[in-house]
Chains A and B, each alone.
Chain A
Amino acid sequence: MSTVSVRDVTVAFEAVQVFDGLSLDIDEGEFIVLLGPSGCGKSTLLNAIAGLLDVADGQIWINGKNVTWEEPKDRGIAMVFQSYALYPRMSVRENMSFGLKMAKTPKPEIEKRVNRAAELLQITPLLDRRPDQLSGGQRQRVAIGRALVRDAAVFLFDEPLSNLDAKLRNELRVEIKRLHARLGKTTMVYVTHDQIEAMTLADRIVVMKEQKIQQIGSPDEIYHRPANLFVAGFVGSPQMNFIMGRIENTGEGLSFLAGDRRLSLSGYQFATAPSAGQEVVLGVRPEHLEITGTGIWPGFTVDIVEPMGADTVIWCSDGLGSLQVRTTGSRKASPGESLTLQVDSTQVSLFAADTGERL
C-alpha cells in the first residue's frame, strides 16, 4: 500500500497552471527524491503534499486517507526546510516542543520525545541554546529534530542541505540516510537539485523538468537507462557525452554511425526499435570510454586534463566534437597527446534526435 499518493493534481498560481494532472505513488517506508533544476516544480509538489498550497484539482492521499482539504497539521507529516526555519526567539527545546504543545500533548510525553530525538541527533547539549548560537549544521539538525518529535508517517525535506558547506552536507546526508534506516517504516520525500544527494539517498528518484515528471526509477535505472536526453544530461557529473549520428543497417546488424566512426549496436537493448537511417544521439558516460591502444575510435587529441584525485577527467577532441573521458587518478596525460578510445555498446544510451526519447 502506498503512504503518499498524488492523484491527477493540478496546481495553479493566479491564472498560471503549474501542474496539470500530475500523479505519483509513494510506498510505505520508501525514500523518494524529487530531482530537477530550479523552477521545475519539485518544491511546489512538496508544498502541495504538505498542504501549504491549495490544489486546484485532483486528490492527495496520505496513509489511506484523503487529505486534500486537510490542514497541514492534520496530515501526519513533518517537514524540514532549506532555511531551517527555526523560531528565532525560542530555545532549541522550545523549538522542538512547539508542535507538540500546539497539539496539547502531555508534558512528560513532550519531554520524552524531545529527549529521544535530541539523543538520536546528538544535540542534547544544545537543548537550551537559541538558534542564533548554533552553527548551520547544528541548526539543520535541530530542524530535523523538530520534525522527528512529531512521530509523523511522512517526512518532507525541502532542499535541507543546500545552505550548508560541502563537508557538512556530506556528513548530514549520511546521517539522514542512517535516520531513515533506523526509523524503519517512515516514508521520506526529499526535494533537491543535487544529483549526488539524489543518487545516494533515494530508493526511487523522480526527475522533473518544467512541471513534468521525466522519469521515475531507482538511482541505477536513472543513471544507466535514462529515459530521455534531459535526464541523461542532468544526472551524472561530469556530464554524459552526446554524439550526433544515425542508425545504419550493415547486414550484420544495426550500427551507429557518426562521420567515419562506427559502433556496432549488437549488444544494445533497444527500448523501441529504430529504423535504419534514423537520426540519433549516442550518449556515453565518461567512465564508459576506455583509453586503450586497441580501441575502435582512434585519432583523439588530449585537450585539457582535470585531475580530481580519485580519478582524472580527460577532455579530448577529434576536430569534430569533444568528449570527456573519466579514467583512474593514476593515469597521467598531457595536452596534445593522441588517444585511441574503446566504447562498450552495452553501456551506451541511444536517443531519437527529434523527440529526445530513449530508443
Chain B
Amino acid sequence: MNAAEPQGRRPRHLTAGRIGIYAFLITAALFFMLPLWIMVVTSLKPMEEIRLGNILALPAAMTFEAWTKAWSSACTGLECNGISVGFWNSVRILIPSVILSIIAGAINGYALSFWRVRGANVMFGILLLGAFIPYQVFLYPLVRIFSLTGIYNSLTCIVLVHVIFGLPTMTLLFRNYYAGLPIELFKAARIDGGGFWTIFLRVILPMSTPILVVATILQVTGIWNDFIFGLTFAGRENLPMTVQLNNIVNSTQGERAYNVDMAATMLAALVPLVVYFVSGRWFVRGIAAGAVKG
C-alpha cells in the first residue's frame, strides 16, 4: 500500500509545540487581564465585602453605588462633586486642543513636503528635536512666559500648551504621509492654477482621511491622559479629569474607599478605552505612525 500522494490542501496537525504555544498565550492573556478584573469586581462591591480581602471573588451583592459616588459626589479635596466636573473640564480642553493641533500639524506637514520652503529641512530638524526633549524641561519657562502675558491658569493657556507640544508629532505624522503622496498630483494642481491654500483644501485635504483619523486618535488619547500640563497650566477652574482622579484617590478621610477609587479610575479611562475599541485597525496604524511619541 502506497502512502497517500500529496494532493490538494496540506493536512494540519496539532503538535505538542503548538499546544504549548497556545497554553502560554492564554496564560499570559489571563495574567494581563487580572488587574482589570480586580478593578471591575472591586468597583461593584460594597466596602464590607472588600474588607473580607477576597479580591478576586465576584461581588456577592452587586452594587453600582461606588460608580455613582465616583461620578457625582466623591471628594476632591474640599469639594465633593465627584469626577464629573473633571470630565467636562477634560472635554473642554480636549476638543479645541485636538482640532487646533491637527490643523497646525497638517498645514506644517503640507508646507514642508510640497513647497520648497527655505530652510525646510532645518525647521523640520528642530521640530523633530522638540519631539525628543522631555516636557518637564519646558515647564518653568512656559509658566513664566504665560504669567507675563497674563493668560496663565486659563483654558486658553492649557489649549495653547497642548497645541505647541502636539506640533512636532503632528507635523512629523502629516509630513510623512504627504511624502508618500505622488508629487505629480501637486504639480498638476499648480499648473491648474491652485495656490497654497486652494491646493491644500481642494486637493490634499480630501486625500488625508486616513491620517486625520490616526492623528485624532493619537491626540485624543494623548491629551485626555495628560496630567502634568493640566495640573500646571489649566488653573483651578479647569483641572482635567486626570488631576481630579488623583485628588480623589489621594485625599482620603478615614477609610480608603477602594470601590470608589476603582470606579473613578475606570471612568477616567473610559474615553481612551472607547477610542481603542472603536478605532481598531486605525489605532494600530496610529501606533506605528507615531512611534516617536513616548
Does B274 touch A at the CB level, under 8 Å?
no
Contact of B190 among A73, A86, A103, A146 (CB under 8 A): A73
B96 to chain A, nearest CB (A): 27
B146 to chain A, nearest CB (A): 40
Within 1-40 of A, Cβ neighbours of B (below 8 Å) are at none
Given contacts A83-B182, A85-B182, A87-B203, contact A103 B193 (CB under 8 A): yes
Contact of B192 among A73, A81, A83 (CB under 8 A): A73
Q: Give bound CA distance, A315 to B189, whole Å.
A: 50
Does B287 touch A at the CB level, under 8 Å?
no
Do B184 and A78 touch (CB < 8 A)? no
Residue-wise, chain B 156-197 has the 8 Å CB interface mask toward A (1 for contact) of: 000000000000000000000000001011011111111000
Q: Give bound CA distance, A89 to B116, whole Å.
A: 25
Contact of A82 among B116, B184, B194, B207 (CB under 8 A): B184
Q: Which residues of A are found within 8 Å of B192, using beta-carbon distances?
A: 73, 98-99, 102, 146, 150
Residue-wise, chain A 64-89 has the 8 Å CB interface mask toward B (1 for contact) of: 00000001110001110111011111
Do B198 and A72 touch (CB < 8 A)? no
Does A196 touch B at the CB level, under 8 Å?
no
Within 54-93 of B, Cβ neighbours of A (below 8 Å) are at none
Q: Which interface class (under 10, 10 to 19, 20 to 34, 35 or more) fits A?
A: 20 to 34
Do A89 and B187 touch (CB < 8 A)? no
Q: Which residues of B are found within 8 Å of A78, using beta-carbon distances?
A: 191
Q: Give bound CA distance, A12 to B116, whole Å.
A: 14
Interface centre among B187, B192, B202, B206 (most CB of A within 10 A): B192
- Please report the total number of B residues contacting A with Cβ < 8 Å: 17
Residue ID in chain B nearest A147 by CB atoms: B191
Does A52 touch B at the CB level, under 8 Å?
yes
Does A50 touch B at the CB level, under 8 Å?
yes
Q: Which residues of B are found within 8 Å of A47, using beta-carbon distances?
A: 187
Residue ID in chain A nearest B181 by CB atoms: A88
Tell me the total A-B contact number using a CB cutoff of 8 A: 60
Contact of A81 among B187, B193, B198, B202 (CB under 8 A): B187
Do A77 and B191 touch (CB < 8 A)? yes
Q: Give bound CA distance, A54 to B189, whole Å.
A: 17
Q: Which residues of B are found within 8 Å of A73, using beta-carbon distances?
A: 190-193
Given contacts A82-B184, A85-B184, contact A99 B191 (CB under 8 A): yes
Q: Which residues of A are found within 8 Å of B190, using beta-carbon distances?
A: 52, 71-73
Q: Give bound CA distance, A81 to B190, whole Å.
A: 13
Q: Give bound CA distance, A157 to B205, whole Å.
A: 27
Within 48-69 of A, Cβ neighbours of B (below 8 Å) are at 50, 52, 54
Within 180-234 of B, Cβ neighbours of A (below 8 Å) are at 182, 184-185, 187-194, 198, 202-203, 206-207
Q: Which residues of B are found within 8 Å of A150, using beta-carbon distances?
A: 192
B172 to chain A, nearest CB (A): 23
B206 to chain A, nearest CB (A): 4
Q: Which residues of A are found within 8 Å of B184, using beta-carbon distances?
A: 81-83, 85, 158
Residue-wise, chain A 90-131 has the 8 Å CB interface mask toward B (1 for contact) of: 000000001100110000000000000000000000000000
Do B206 and A72 touch (CB < 8 A)? no
A21 to chain B, nearest CB (A): 23
Q: Which residues of B are found within 8 Å of A99, using beta-carbon distances?
A: 191-193
Q: Which residues of B are found within 8 Å of A98, using beta-carbon distances?
A: 189, 192, 194, 202
In addition to A86-B188, A102-B192, 8 A-B residue pairs with Cβ atoms within 8 Å of each other are A50-B191, A71-B190, A87-B188, A98-B194, A98-B202, A102-B194, A146-B188, A146-B192
5 A-B residue pairs with Cβ-Cβ distance under 8 Å, sorted by A, are A73-B192, A83-B182, A87-B202, A87-B206, A98-B189
| 3 tightest A-B CB contacts, nearest first | A99-B192, A73-B193, A102-B193
